[in-house]
Amino acid sequence: MSSVDPSVYRSVIRVRQAYAFDIAGLLMRFYSYMMSIGTVTMLSLSGYSFMISGIVASVISLSIFLLSPRVSKLVDEYGQSRVLPKAALIVLVGLAITLGNVAFKGPEWIFLPAALLMGCVPNAQALVRARWTYLIRTGKIEKDVPSIRTVFSFEGILDDVGFMLSPPISIALASAITPIAGLLTGGVVFIVGVVMMCLAKGSEPEVGWTPVEETGADENAREGESTSALTHAKSIIRTSTVVRILFVLMFLTGAFYGVFDTAGVAFAEDLGNPNIAGTGLVIGAVLSAIMGFIFGMVRVTLPLYKQVIICAILIGLAYGTQILISTEAAFYAVSAAAALTYAPFLIVLNSAVERAVPGKRLTEAITWVNSGMTCGVALGPTIAGFVIDLAGATVGFDVGGLVALMIPIITLACARLIKRSIRDESYEVIATSPSSAPNPPTPKGD
């Protein structure tokens, strides 16, 4: 059973502590989302080949995948305000080298080490979600406490806003002013975001913080937890089975989405109307944002692990229908219908991470799961390009559909592990004050 409450977003807007870090996170997102397409646009407009542009963009994506979770691990261990300035400095050094090399028409090989440095970018989505979780779970918000679902839906909307607006802004600046204008603007915006995030001390999670409802509980029961020290020898991806499962699900999501996007472009070219692909993707993005907004208003009484399983089945079946695409109308229909499952799946998966790992490991865990998406998005177009060159765009859709169908298959195969690892969400417990909170449910080990 579930109920819909259109007023739930008021509780999010009333949390004034969140204004600074939410704006900061949005600014940092803008830079992150424009890095790949901004790099390709800048280098291609500067006279470098598309091959070099693509290689540099791929190195940035690979570097983000490898380094961003490590940055988040350090954030959990030492705090955001201590780690973010250092990580940002590394990113800006890489950006400065890249922009300088473009401006002075330097050699191509310099872009590669610079791209590695640019991949040290902190994960803004994880930083912001960790702050929200900290404020809610520790009772820092005294009145009208928003639910985690509503907060993550709200953040999902901001993700979509950044994802939709930052690439075209970067392209427009590079095309209208100078090739380096897009990424240069992104770098300035990124600096402002990092400074704002570090100055928002009141909402910064304390190192080793514990949720109110777990005070006095044996946290060793939670997967991947160690109470002997705040500095963890192993990454959460190595110690937490459920994080690995969610990582794989997000990887497959990014992969089928990358295949779908690439096959859509090729399909549009086959039909002689390149605008078809752009229109379909815009429709999907808008519907996804709307669905995410609506989903945040829904209070579902189903256990969270069941929500994960149901949403995985829905998104797999929805995007699995791309194997049926053979006409323009079918492409639009799949783009629109499947997009309705995208936001709920991402919201539920991020909520599952929050309920499956200790609060002091949350930033790293969310970053790893979202890095799965980054890795999948980077690999998907490569797979699609190979298949499309050999057999055509419709076969590319077939591959994308098969990848999407792997999501429910893996989820159902791992259902028992997911059930054991993800604690039931209780909005009533979250919303009560520390003094009146009931005893928490005993979490089960993996």
What's the confidence (pLDDT) of residue 371?
84
More confident residue, 316 or 6: 316
What's the confidence (pLDDT) of residue 225?
46
What's the confidence (pLDDT) of residue 83?
95
Is the per-residue pLDDT at 246 higher than 90?
A: yes
Residues 6+ apart with CB under 8 A from 329: none
Burial track 158-194 (b if 16+ CB lie within 10 A, e otherwise): bbbbbbbebbebbbebbeeeebbbbbbbbbebbbebb
The predicted model gives 359-382 an average pLDDT of 82
Given this structure, which CATH class describes domain 233-446?
Answer: mainly alpha
User: How far, in Å, CA of 153 to CA of 11, rounded?
Assistant: 13
Written as six digits, the tokens of 189 are 């915006």
More confident residue, 223 or 315: 315
Is the per-residue pLDDT at 428 higher than 50?
A: no
**Which range scores top for mean pLDDT: 10-19, 82-91, 161-170?**
82-91
For residue 7, count other CB atoms closer than 10 A to its CB.
8
More confident residue, 5 or 8: 8
pLDDT digits (tens, 9 = 90+) for 89-136: 999 999 999 999 999 988 999 999 999 999 899 999 899 999 998 998
Count of H helices and E strands in the chain?
Answer: 17, 2
pLDDT digits (tens, 9 = 90+) for 173-231: 888 889 899 999 999 999 999 999 999 988 999 887 877 655 544 444 444 444 445 45
Residues 6+ apart with CB under 8 A from 115: 39, 56, 59, 60, 63, 94, 98
Given this structure, which CATH class describes domain 1-209?
Answer: mainly alpha
Cα 186 versus chain centre, distance: 19
Written as six digits, the tokens of 385 are 């390009």
Domain boundaries, the chain: 1-209, 233-446
Domain 1-209 shares a fold with domain 233-446: yes
For residue 420, count other CB atoms closer than 10 A to its CB.
17
The predicted model gives 351-380 an average pLDDT of 83
More confident residue, 190 or 158: 190
pLDDT digits (tens, 9 = 90+) for 33-64: 888 778 877 888 888 886 787 788 778 888 88
What mean pLDDT is reported for the chain? 82
Sign of CA dihedral 20, 290, 430, 309: negative
The predicted model gives 330-359 an average pLDDT of 88
What's the confidence (pLDDT) of residue 162?
79
Is the per-residue pLDDT at 424 higher than 90?
A: no
| Dihedral Cα 114, 120, 124, 128, nearest 10 deg | -160
Does residue 409 contact residue 327 with C-beta atoms inside 8 Å? no
pTM comes to: 0.78
Q: Where are the alpha helices (DSSP H) in 79-147?
A: 80-103, 111-118, 124-137
**Which range scores top for mean pLDDT: 57-61, 70-74, 148-152?**
70-74
What's the confidence (pLDDT) of residue 85?
95
